[in-house]
Amino acid sequence: MATEVILPRLGQGMESGTIVRWLKAEGEPVEKGEPLFELDTDKVTQEVEAEAAGVLLKIAVPEGEVPVGQTVAFIGQQGEDVPEVAAAASHEEPKTAAPEPEPAAAPPAETAVVSGNGRIKASPLARRMARERGIELSDIRGTGPDGRIVAEDVERAEVGAPAPTTAPVPRGEVERVPLTSIRKTIARRLTEAWQIPVFQLQTSADMTRVNALVARLRERDPDVRVTVTDVLTKVSAQALLRHREVNAEFTDEAILLHPSANVGLAVAAPQGLVVPVIRSAERLSLTEIAAVRSDLVGRARESKLRAEDIEGGTFTISNLGMYAVERFTAVLNPPQAAIVAVGATEERVVPLDGGIAVRPIVTLTGTFDHRAVDGAPAAAFLQTLKESLEDPGLAL
Amino acid sequence: MPELTYREAVRDALSTAMRQDDDVFIMGEDIAEMGGSMGVTAGMLDEFGKERVRNTPISEMALAGAAIGAAMQGMRPVAEIMYEDFMTLAAEQVVNQAAKLRYMSGGQLTVPVVFRTQGGAGWSPGAQHAQQLEAWFVHIPGLKVVFASTPEDVRGLLWSAIYDDNPVVFFEHRTLYPLKGDVPQEIEPIPIGRARIHREGEDVTVIATGRLVHETLKAAEEAERDGISVEVVDPRTLQPLDEETLVASVKKTNRAVVAHEAVTRMGFGAEVAAVLQYQAFDWLDAPIERVGAKFAPLPFAPVMEAFVVPHAEDVLAAIKRTVGKG
């Protein structure tokens, strides 16, 4: 008898998911554990694996939103009969409206050439230059082989001059970008977060020693590229345990103080903002944090985070330093009581020992849930953070 | 500055070392009366006598082994392996003995031997007498590997190889023997492990060895006419490799081509490309191009041989691909 493929519950609170695409076609053999379809939930996009081996006999729901527990396909032996139930039971809203007309032909590439997996074709040098100058590759038209973005294209983009070949013709229509589940969730949660009474505190820290520490760690262990973000994660975790009122969550009955610092990192994934979590960061060494961070961020960018990767955070770091942002304020990531926004580490002139010096300075802006934490303890937390960055030994 | 051919430059290094140093001697097949199959050692028997210019039986394994034994006993022998194709016969001694003994004896032994050998296509020697096998030996820890492309380099590097306390496999290219070039009045040792920049350029770096250095210099002149400025670098020593110079050049030009006469598959250029992509990743503006022989035994027929091995136009085509003008 054919095995039903049921829409799985990937995390707490998940009630439905949207099938993005099937990775197997009807009639194709399937191994147990092989990725079967891509499922977009309000938290992650994840590949769902087959729980039985055989042949994918029927796809009952080719795409669209489906409640958890519904049968979406059948796996069985070749030629086996499939029960009728599934297709009719689809939870999907009837498609009364005519589908959006497809454009007659693909519009000519006006910007970057994007390959099937969403990756923009650009040389490593062009990537580095774009990163350093804060230019989005997607805004650049490549003139190299196969439309590859090369250094010259980035130079041109910075000057703002058009590419030497035909300039892109502006298109008159407003482009509609349908909301994905993740986009909807981002919108809903940020609107909720906006209701929370928050206050912001700001401080700056001299990063000379952190930079030296990162350089030494990289030299000692080039395979694990420790970054400033890893140091921030570590010192934040230590500071959170020293100031537990910040490592908190406000509920109607009580304020919950978490026993461990689960530090979330805001990552720009292709489908939108995600915040994978480094668990118990206070117990991990810098190289351990770097390894976990590299894995999580890598999977975030490939849309391969699992539900458990993004659950249980107690604090968030949002770092826009790579975009030459000097300082900014972040919106709270509820139910967490605090988030810190990290700007670029820049050479700034600072007073030092009665004279002046040029030092790498970073500005940190904390946003705190005032229901859970008051100004003074939040300020003390930020002070610990600053001191630990200026003298990382103090975080030990 | 005197002018010497590449062949005379090799002979000059050998003779000068033998005149000043009784520990240095040469051995090989037909190197005495006949002067070697390529004429490199012609006349040396008359000057140094048959004790120091030793003909050996036709057994590369035996002659390599004898040279290693002499080196372990404190001599500085230079063994000629007539064709590098025959290095395969000497490989047991070179790979398993010479390369290992210093390490396995905890430094109690040194093996200051040089294996001079030559190869290369361009004169129709067929599949068994023209291979370029340098990559085989670069793969062996314990060996140094040299491949010189000019009279000045071959003389200065052979000198350093003779006086190096480690085994050195020293490749010469058959078609370079008649090449003339200026050399310093006195031999100036060239340190092993240092590349030579033959020509400075801005747009693309070509890292070439042996005959391909000269093909690349021709290609660079052609490219210049198209407005492409080419930097030409010869590593000269394949092991140890002057990574610093190669990487610095590519960081300047942002594009790289590696060129050698050996087949590209698992060739020396593959290693160079790996080094460059790792150390200069964020500086690369184009994929690294490789130029080498097609993956085939060398044909005997001259037109087919010319088809299989790379020439200046192949290097030029690769240069143009890297700058997006291919």
pLDDT by residue (tens digit) across B231-275?
999 999 999 999 999 999 999 999 999 999 999 999 999 999 999
Mean local confidence (pLDDT), B188-207: 97
Residue of A nearest to B250 (CA): A125
B68: its two tokens: 């290693």
Q: How confident is the model at residue A17 (pLDDT cuts 50, 70, 90)?
A: confident
Cβ distance of B282 and A128 shorter than 8 Å: yes
Residue A175 — left, alpha, or beta (φ > 0 → left; ψ -120 to 50 → alpha)? beta
Q: Is the domain of A126 the same as that of A79?
A: no
Q: How many domains does chain B have?
A: 2
Q: Nearest by CB to A151, from B254, B321, B326: name it.
A: B254
Q: What is residue A303's predicted lDDT score, i.e. its pLDDT? A: 80
Residue ending a domain, choose from B122, B155, B182: B182
Residues in CB range of B19: below 8 A, 6 or more apart: none
* pLDDT higher than threshold 90 for residue A21: no
Domain presence at residue B191: no
Q: What is residue B326's predicted lDDT score, i.e. its pLDDT? A: 61
Q: Are A30 and A75 in contact (CB under 8 A)?
A: yes
Q: What is residue A160's predicted lDDT score, i.e. its pLDDT? A: 62
Residue ending a domain, choose from B137, B159, B182: B182
Q: Is the domain of B8 the same as that of B148?
A: yes
Tell me which residue of B137, B142, B192 sits closest to B167, measured CA to CA.
B142
Q: Is the domain of B148 the same as that of B235?
A: no
Q: Are B273 and B284 in contact (CB under 8 A)?
A: no
Catalytic residue among B29, B80, B84, B129: B129
Residue of A nearest to B252 (CA): A125
The answer to pTM > 0.80 is: no
Cα(first)–Cα(last) distance of chain A, in Å? 60
Which of A127, A140, A146, A150 best probes binding to B when mutated, by most B CB atoms within 10 angstroms? A150
Q: Calculate what percentage of chain B has a pLDDT beyond 70.
A: 99
Which residues lie across from A350 on neighbouring strands? Answer: A357
Q: What is residue A117's predicted lDDT score, i.e. its pLDDT? A: 63
Tell me which residue of B54, B83, B84 sits closest to B67, measured CA to CA.
B54
Which of B252, B277, B281, B282 best probes binding to A when mutated, by most A CB atoms within 10 angstroms? B282
Mean pLDDT of chain A: 84
Count Cβ atoms within 10 A of the Cβ of residue A56 and give its class: 0-12 exposed, 13-18 middle, 19 or more buried.
Answer: buried
Q: Are B28 and B118 in contact (CB under 8 A)?
A: no
Cβ distance of A144 and B324 shorter than 8 Å: yes
Cβ distance of A144 and B326 shorter than 8 Å: no
* pLDDT higher than threshold 50 for residue B296: yes
Residue of A nearest to B326 (CA): A145
A124-183 residues touching B, CB cutoff 8 A: 124-128, 143-145, 150-151
Question: Which of the given ranges, A81-90, A181-190, A259-268, has the highest pLDDT on average?
Answer: A259-268
Alpha carbon of A325: minimum distance to chain B alpha carbons (Å): 22
pLDDT per residue as tens digits for the range A102-151: 444 444 444 666 655 667 889 999 998 998 888 888 888 888 887 889 98
The secondary structure element, H or E, covering residue A379 is: helix A375-390
CB atoms within 10 A of CB A215: 11
Residue ending a domain, choose from B158, B182, B206: B182
Sign of the torsion angle spanned by Cα atoms A156, A157, A161, A162: positive
- How many whole angstroms separate alpha carbon B246 and alpha carbon B207? 8
Alpha carbon of A223: minimum distance to chain B alpha carbons (Å): 12
Chain B CB contacts of A147 below 8 Å? none
Q: How confident is the model at residue A376 (pLDDT cuts 50, 70, 90)?
A: very high
Cβ distance of B284 and A124 shorter than 8 Å: yes
We report the CATH number of the domain holding residue B135 as 3.40.50.970
Higher pLDDT, A229 or A177: A229
A164: its two tokens: 């030497």
Question: Which of the given ranges, A303-312, A344-353, B245-254, has the highest pLDDT on average?
Answer: B245-254
Alpha carbon of B281: minimum distance to chain A alpha carbons (Å): 6
Residue ending a domain, choose from A47, A62, A88: A88
Chain A CB contacts of B254 below 8 Å? 125, 151
Q: Is the domain of A134 the same as that of A261?
A: no
Cβ distance of B284 and A125 shorter than 8 Å: yes
Catalytic residue among B8, B29, B60, B231: B60
Cβ distance of B254 and A145 shorter than 8 Å: no
- For B78, the domain range is 3-182
- How many whole angstroms separate alpha carbon B84 and alpha carbon B257? 25
> Among A170-184, B175-189, B311-325, where is mean pLDDT lowest?
A170-184
Q: Nearest by CB to A123, from B285, B321, B326: name it.
A: B285
Mean local confidence (pLDDT), B74-89: 98
Alpha carbon of B286: minimum distance to chain A alpha carbons (Å): 6
* pLDDT higher than threshold 70 for residue A62: yes
We report the CATH number of the domain holding residue B305 as 3.40.50.920
Mean local confidence (pLDDT), B167-183: 97
Domain presence at residue B188: no
Q: What is residue A89's predicted lDDT score, i.e. its pLDDT? A: 41
CB atoms within 10 A of CB B77: 26
Residue of A nearest to B253 (CA): A125
Domain presence at residue A185: no
Higher pLDDT, A85 or A2: A2
Residue A223 is among the residues annotated as catalytic for this protein: no
Domain presence at residue A348: yes
Residue of A nearest to B255 (CA): A125
* pLDDT higher than threshold 90 for residue B193: yes
Domain presence at residue B187: no
Q: How confident is the model at residue B316 (pLDDT cuts 50, 70, 90)?
A: very high
- How many whole angstroms separate alpha carbon A141 and alpha carbon A137? 8
Tell me which residue of B89, B40, B83, B34 sits closest to B65, measured CA to CA.
B89
Q: Is the domain of B218 the same as that of B113?
A: no
pLDDT per residue as tens digits for the range B111-123: 999 999 999 999 9
Q: Is the domain of B167 the same as that of B210?
A: no
Q: Is the domain of A234 the same as that of A314?
A: yes
Domain presence at residue B262: yes
Helix axes A208-220, A375-390, angle to 10 degrees: 50
Which residues lie across from B239 on neighbouring strands? Answer: B145
Pairing of strands B256-263, B168-173: unpaired
* pLDDT higher than threshold 50 for residue B61: yes
Q: What is residue A331's predicted lDDT score, i.e. its pLDDT? A: 93
Q: Is the domain of A108 the same as that of A68?
A: no
Cβ distance of A150 and B321 shorter than 8 Å: no
Residue of B nearest to A150 (CA): B285
Q: Is the domain of A236 the same as that of A324?
A: yes
Q: Is the domain of B239 the same as that of B112?
A: no
Q: What is residue A145's predicted lDDT score, i.e. its pLDDT? A: 81
Which of B202, B204, B285, B325 best probes binding to A when mutated, by most A CB atoms within 10 angstroms? B285
We report the CATH number of the domain holding residue A248 as 3.30.559.10
Mean pLDDT of chain B: 97
We report the CATH number of the domain holding residue A155 as 4.10.320.10
Cβ distance of A124 and B326 shorter than 8 Å: no
Residue B129 is among the residues annotated as catalytic for this protein: yes
Alpha carbon of A148: minimum distance to chain B alpha carbons (Å): 9
* pLDDT higher than threshold 90 for residue B76: yes
- How many whole angstroms separate alpha carbon A362 and alpha carbon A357? 15
* pLDDT higher than threshold 90 for residue B30: yes
Pairing of strands B76-81, B114-119: parallel
Q: Is the domain of A211 the same as that of A285?
A: yes
Domain presence at residue A385: yes
Q: How confident is the model at residue A49 (pLDDT cuts 50, 70, 90)?
A: confident
- For A119, the domain range is 101-162
* pLDDT higher than threshold 80 for residue B168: yes
Q: How many domains does chain A have?
A: 3
Q: Is the domain of B285 the same as that of B212?
A: yes
Q: How confident is the model at residue A63 (pLDDT cuts 50, 70, 90)?
A: confident
Chain A CB contacts of B281 below 8 Å? 124
Mean local confidence (pLDDT), B33-59: 97
* pLDDT higher than threshold 50 for residue A18: yes
Q: What is residue A101's predicted lDDT score, i.e. its pLDDT? A: 43
Tell me which residue of A270, A322, A263 sits closest to A299, measured CA to CA.
A270
Q: What is residue A51's predicted lDDT score, i.e. its pLDDT? A: 83
- How many whole angstroms separate alpha carbon A226 and alpha carbon A348? 24
Q: Is the domain of B307 the same as that of B175?
A: no
Mean local confidence (pLDDT), B184-199: 97
